[in-house]
Structure 1
């Protein structure tokens, strides 16, 4: 084990927005033992404060499902892969043709923008804080790193199964939200595993020496790429089906349990 790659939400961060002290100690112990740590998340860079405030982490984070590499030490973008504007609009039109009630939003390297109706019914608070309107006006270049579509009245799996076959030739599509039916789209060929593999290569670390943790469908590629990919027992069935390695659930500090065991093995090995 030379690199630990961990998802955040549902893997180490619970629904109350807390990372347990046991989990924090396990990550610090990894770094003290010379094991690199990188967090790999669907979150945008602006939502990384739990890593700073609760872990004191100042390293690299892979954000937006692999489309953005961010350095917490300098609070700056290291690299990004943007979706062509015309592709975003084409995907929007395809989804709208299938489900006219869909609403759309986009993450760029610097901000979150959304159609005004994206705010309803559960994001109204955003209207006073973000730019909203028609996407053609809000997005002028190819800077979108994450495109989102949401709907009411369907499960995430129903929405994904109905939409993905129609857009998979244009974008990488997944989902990871607990409480809303939301599709998350990245530039074609981009996912957590792709960017993690590139990052590990820069460190000279092969996949067999990477231990990864995740809990949702957007973690599947990462869990299958890593030498040891652990799905959280509290996670989504698709994540659990992707790997034979299952960590105890987040409520039982599953990531910490696995890391403690592996660190103890490293110490015994000298």
Structure 2
């Protein structure tokens, strides 16, 4: 395998948001051996820096489920595929008509910023963040969005995602990366797989030479595209069922590092 692609939360990163020393060493060894490493995450750019601060390598990161590809060396977005304003407005209109109590937020510029309706719940780590804040509905629709975030109170994650996806058929892509009931909406055709395929082509690497790790439904396109898609032992049942292989250990127990050590004979 010439390229290693890995999700972050639930995959490379542990529940306390740290990356183990074992994992750090494996990634350093891969980089030294000329293996391309790509971080592929639903995270916005503003959530990447705590991960980069722990690593000894600084690989490209595909963010926002494929909507932005970020180069940490130059602090630039090298490719962007946002929801344009017409599609964003149509998606919100359809959901307002179909989902009682729906509220929205948008990630912009690869997630450097997030603006949300006042009723949209945000995590405590986002409160008072300089790039996160409330905005009117009209303001949310005024610029393209890397992702549209959708909530409607407590919802079963998979069922709610399926409902949102059906509402937005032909307008946008819907997925989820947690059990929180939040749905993440991207432009049509934008997935982790579409962005990873673009990065791989830039390195003259075909899908057959890519190994990808993930744990949640937003990882499914990437895992099925890659020559070897590996689900985490702690992964969503649908992800484990669709993957080519499953790690022996969870993200808490260095599942990715252990798999790569065996694959590359480290």
Structures share fold, TM-score greater than 0.5? yes
SS of aligned partner of 1:42:
coil
Q: How does 1:59-78 map to 2 (within 5 A)?
A: 59-78=59-78
Deviation at 1:50, TM superposition (A): 2.9
**Do the aligned residues in 2 keep the contact of 1:57 with 1:72 (CA within 8 Å)?**
no
What does residue 157 of structure 1 align with? 158
What does residue 137 of structure 1 align with? 139
**Do the aligned residues in 1 keep the contact of 2:98 with 2:167 (CA within 8 Å)?**
no
Q: Distance in 2 between matches of 1:232 and 1:4?
A: 15
**Do the aligned residues in 2 keep the contact of 1:119 with 1:125 (CA within 8 Å)?**
no
What does residue 119 of structure 1 align with? 121
**Do the aligned residues in 2 keep the contact of 1:132 with 1:138 (CA within 8 Å)?**
no
Please list the CA deviations of residues 38-85 of structure 1 after superposition, one character each: whole Å capped at 9, or x if unmatched: 100001111111331111332211111001010001111111012111
Please list the CA deviations of residues 115-172 of structure 1 after superposition, one character each: whole Å capped at 9, or x if unmatched: 110037x56963674331323124423x211111012232111211222112121001
What does residue 54 of structure 2 align with? 54
Q: Does 1:148 align with 2:149?
A: yes
**Do the aligned residues in 2 keep the contact of 1:2 with 1:205 (CA within 8 Å)?**
yes
Q: Give the count of matched residue pairs.
A: 262
Q: Distance in 2 between matches of 1:94 and 1:205?
A: 39
Q: Distance in 2 between matches of 1:93 and 1:127?
A: 29
Give structure 1 stretches of 5+ with no counterpart: none
Q: Distance in 1 between matches of 2:127 and 2:75?
A: 23
SS of aligned partner of 1:118:
coil
SS of aligned partner of 1:149:
strand
Q: Distance in 1 between matches of 2:140 and 2:106?
A: 9
Q: Does 1:257 align with 2:263?
A: no
What does residue 183 of structure 2 align with? 183
Q: Distance in 1 between matches of 2:46 and 2:263?
A: 32
More helix per residue: 1 or 2?
Answer: 1
For normalisation by structure 2, the TM-score amounts to 0.93
Q: Distance in 2 between matches of 1:124 and 1:252?
A: 25
Q: Distance in 1 between matches of 2:258 and 2:118?
A: 44
**Do the aligned residues in 1 keep the contact of 2:89 with 2:141 (CA within 8 Å)?**
no
SS of aligned partner of 2:235:
coil
**Do the aligned residues in 2 keep the contact of 1:14 with 1:250 (CA within 8 Å)?**
yes
Q: Distance in 2 between matches of 1:103 and 1:123?
A: 18
Q: Distance in 2 between matches of 1:197 and 1:8?
A: 18
Please list the CA deviations of residues 8-29 of structure 1 after superposition, one character each: whole Å capped at 9, or x if unmatched: 0000112211111111111111
The 1:29/1:125 distance shift into structure 2, 3 A limit, reads: closer
SS of aligned partner of 1:9:
coil
Please list the CA deviations of residues 146-205 of structure 1 after superposition, one character each: whole Å capped at 9, or x if unmatched: 111012232111211222112121001100024x21000111001000110111011001
Q: Does 1:237 align with 2:237?
A: yes
Give structure 2 stretches of 5+ with no counterpart: none
